[in-house]
Amino acid sequence: MAEPPDRVEVVRTGGFAGIPRRGAVDLADAPPEEREAIGQALDDLRRAAARPAAVAQPDAFTYTVAVSHAGRREELTVDEIAVPESARPFLDRTLAGSG
């Protein structure tokens, strides 16, 4: 597993209405178990993003996840159909915090 990040930003685009939804979580002061769980979800998303793209689904969402750690930024893009079940709770929680 990669080093847990300091901050993660999630943007969900697409869908029927086409309205982007954003959320972020700062992890610099988060408990180690939370950082580790999010690190695992990100590893699963990295594997999904590395796979060839699936056939486009009408009105499906696309998730863009920006991971910041020690001054570096990594960006992952994953189509809804490719999001692993293990990462969905993290994405949902992060977007729910966006109000």
Exposure b/e, 80-95, CB count within 10 A at least 16 = b = bebbeeebeebbeebb
pLDDT of res. 16:
85
8-61 pLDDT, tens digit each: 999 999 988 888 999 999 988 889 898 889 999 999 999 999 988 767 677 889
How far is Cα 4 from Cα 40, in angstroms, rounded to an integer? 8
